[in-house]
Amino acid sequence: MSTFDGLNKVFGDEPSDLQKHVEKSKSLRTEKPDIQADYETSRANLHNLVMKGQEAVDGILDVARASDHPRAYEVAATTIKAVGDVTDKLIDLQQKMKDLDKEEKKGPNNVTNALFVGSTSELQKMLKKESNINNKD
């Protein structure tokens, strides 16, 4: 709901371009908290999966040792791999968040502008000296 809705009802006026721009900029500002909230939720879920996976691995290894059955060891190995994959996803999530936080660089980082301060005759003399030095080499 816009802050101008009450005025619009009273005066029967459509929102101006300025009001539309304000509404649009407000919606753009909410993207960052949404991204942060999604990141925190994903991170918490992945941590929860890792913790539960560790508990499952401990339990399965106990069963595998007790039964000495090859299938139990196979299940344990698969569960260990699944926990490892979740930790890889956690690291990937960190990298993706860093990439989102980076500001895109526009243009070159270092720009060196050579500026000559002087008259045109001084510039011509300097260029002649440069060309003489280059011709000697």
Q: What are the boundaries of each domain within the chain? A: 16-107
Residues sharing a CB contact under 8 Å with residue 92, sequence separation 6 or more, in sequence order: none
Phi and psi angles of residue 104, each rounded to the nearest 5 degrees, phi first: -70, 130
* pLDDT over 80 at 30, yes or no: no
pLDDT value for 26:
52
pLDDT at 6 (0 to 100): 66
Global pTM value:
0.52
Report the 10 Å Cβ neighbour count for 92.
11
| pLDDT of 59 | 94
CATH number belonging to domain 16-107: 1.10.287.1060
